[in-house]
Chains A and B, each alone.
Chain A
Amino acid sequence: MKALRRYDWLRTVLLLVGAVVFVFPLYMTVMIALKTPADMTTLSGILSIPSDPQWGNFVEAARVADLLTAFRVSVTVTSSSVVLTVLTSSMVGYAIGRNPKSRLYRILFLYFVSAMFVPFAVIMLPIARQMAFLDLDTVPGLIILYTAYGVPLSVFLYVGGLKSVPVDFDEAAWIDGASVFYSFRKLIFPLLKPVHATVVIHTAVWTWNDFLLPLIILGARRINTLALAQHSFEGQFTTDYNLGFASYLIALLPMIVIFLAAQKLVVSGLTGGGLK
């Protein structure tokens, strides 16, 4: 009884309403993905729990839209971009963060960070041409772009995070005869874990879900990421909603699973490193 009174029921009910709003589209997606077109004539037919779940829809959707290949491309792009971004941006952030008095590095910092205000639409048209002419309208090309375009935010985060790592640490190592590279790699890099978490999460979510960059870079090569495949095969899916929703679910699920598995990390990563 006491436990019940402890709860703020008004708040709970409001939160419950909100939860329904957030869950409903996903619930609907799962229900439709497991049905046949014949089930879809009435509202209750669409939204009820299927009596005979059509697991084959996933197989069929994967076949129609070649989602297996798309999945592999997405994993390649996301994992490579994440690793490369962490490695490169942390170095840049370190170099900038450890030279606060140098005009050169202050200008560099401004140069990178001000790029955050450049809407992608501004470079969209020229970069599409440039990548094609360099023969980089490919998966590696896309990874290079993500690594480059990740720099402004990541460097900003690393420079911020570095402020909480005293310079004494570096100096102590140098006295022992360590090089700058060595002290960065062995000492500072591990200490930046909270920032790494933020950068990894941002980069992963962004590169996995991004649509416009793969569209203009890979479109002509008919290579699909998982997100891009949803667009490329739109035509097939408007005639068969069930397959379409199975395909949407395949695109959404990996991120949901990773998120559920590493939820604490994601949340603390975003709030911990993100606000320095």
Chain B
Amino acid sequence: MFDTKVMSVVAGLFLIAMPLFGAGEREAELEFFQHKMEAEDTFDELLEEFMEEYEELGIQVEQNQAPEADTQIMSRLASDRLPEIISINADATYGELADSGELKAWDGTEIAERIHEAHIEMTQMLAEERTDRIYGIPYAANANTVLYNVDMFEELGLDIPTTWSEFIEVAETIEDAGEQPFFHTFADEWTVMVPWNSLAANYEPADFPQLRREGEATFSEYYEEPAEKMLTLLEYGGDDPFGYSYSDGNHALARGDTAMLIQGVWAISDVEAADPDHDIGVFAMPVRENPEENLLVSGVDSIISIPEGLDEETEEAAVQVVEYLTRQDVAHQYIHGEGMFPTVKGIDQEDPMMEELQPYFAEGRLTHFPDHYYPPDMGFAGMVVEFLQHGDVDQFLQDIDDTYDLVRER
């Protein structure tokens, strides 16, 4: 049965393992915590270049591309283990982080001066209490868009749609030609928010977050139309819209399995990596019937922060990294690598692929991501997925209003 041989094997394993105690411990270095799966390679390159260029400072930075970054960063806040450099999406989680008072303020620094004021203001609004100071450096702006297969559009003789009706007509034409118009990837439920944000942003007033917070507006008042349109989009999204993941969608577009993919510009680098030969284009989702009224949803894609209360040397090193990243040439390299738009003054996104989006930026027809102002524990994306499955608009509107009130009460 259980003889001494076995016991000695176990003991042996233990002895072998002893010197490995602390095998997982890491040397003192800066952790660059960042949320973007797509940007992992780009950041690796940039940090590598940083360490080379500033070799004499002896700063070691290691990237941590974190899954479920929101949950992780909040749990690390709770156990007082914030990373030295934090880059997350500028959404309600960032707002909570800013409100916690655990982030270093950047007011009056040279680095903060480098950033467009509009982007700074946009992110300050995410906090509820600490709205007067700058707790993060907006690093890049994105655009919430539709990606499409340029070759297929040419073959079918399609133009970029500029109104909602044209958009649906295009989808019809594609379907009649035996191709798939969209490829929905709602198994990763956050992807449902891409079409939703474009739709909701075009129907809600600009100050809706405050109005809703103060109880002067409800979701039901503004979201009926977006909800109806979500159901319409669902019809063209393939035979298993809830069965595929984000990366499945990127691959499908790259392979030519779908004509369009409702995704933001952040997906472009992934699509191109999957198949560099295909010609991919991007346009703003047309939501209104009057093209001039249509707004492009654009938000701060990544916001970089440093925790309060690091020791002086560490903080200096961390600031040095942020200083480097926000340098014009580096930021330029980043936005081109990731298909983003600048938050740093004095640089532009010149990629011809982004041509369709330029007028929106030039004319300022931009608006923020509606979902960045929904409380994160509302689980909004999940509620939209549920709604798409049962299809009852009234129930959905009722649900989101009720849930919002309940979450706010806690």
Produce 1/0 per residue, B45-81, CB < 8 A to A.
0000000000000000000111100001001101111
- B72/A219 in contact, CB under 8 A: yes
Q: Mark A171-200, 1 if CB is under 8 A from B, else 0.
A: 000000000000000000000011011001
| B81 contact set on A, CB distance < 8 A | 132, 137, 220-221
Total interface residues on A, CB under 8 Å, equals 45
In the complex, chain B residues whose CB is within 8 Å of the CB of A82: 10, 14
- Please name all residues of chain B whose beta carbon is closer than 8 Å to the beta carbon of A140 when the two chains form the complex: 21-22
Please tell me if B24 contacts chain A, counting CB pairs below 8 Å.
Answer: yes
Indicate if A272 sits at the interface (CB-CB under 8 A): yes
Interface string of B19-47 (1 = CB under 8 A from A): 01111111000010000010010000000
**Interface size bucket, B side?**
35 or more
Any chain A CB within 8 A of the CB of B313? no
Contact with B along A49-84 (1 / 0, CB 8 A): 000000000000000000001101101100110110
Q: Is B3 an interface residue (CB 8 A)?
A: yes
Q: Is the CB of B2 within 8 A of A139?
A: no
The residue in chain B whose Cβ has the minimal distance to the Cβ of A268 is B1
Q: B377 → chain A, closest Cβ, in Å? A: 15
**Which residues of B sit under 8 angstroms from A239, Cβ to Cβ?**
247, 270, 274
- B11 lies within 8 A of chain A by Cβ: yes
- Residues of chain A with a CB closer than 8 A to B23's CB: 69, 72-73, 76, 139
Interface 9-residue window, one of A108-116, A145-153, A230-238: A230-238
CB A263 to nearest CB in B, in angstroms, measures 13
- Quick check: A133 and B72 within 8 Å, CB to CB? no
Proximity string of chain A (224-257) to chain B, C-beta cutoff 8 Å, 1 when within and 0 when not = 1000000110111011000000000000000000
Check B247 against A197 for contact (C-beta < 8 Å).
Answer: no
Residue of B2, B22, B66, B80 contacting most chain A CB atoms (<10 Å): B2
Known: A73-B24, A128-B75, A219-B72. 4 other contacts (CB 8 A): A69-B23, A82-B10, A137-B81, A220-B79
- Listed from nearest, the 10 A-B pairs whose CB atoms lie closest are A132-B79, A223-B24, A193-B2, A220-B81, A72-B23, A197-B2, A235-B37, A76-B17, A79-B13, A73-B24
Q: Which residues of A contact B (CB under 8 A)?
A: 69-70, 72-73, 75-76, 79-80, 82-83, 125, 128-129, 131-133, 137-140, 193-194, 196-197, 200, 216, 218-224, 231-232, 234-236, 238-239, 262, 265, 268-269, 272
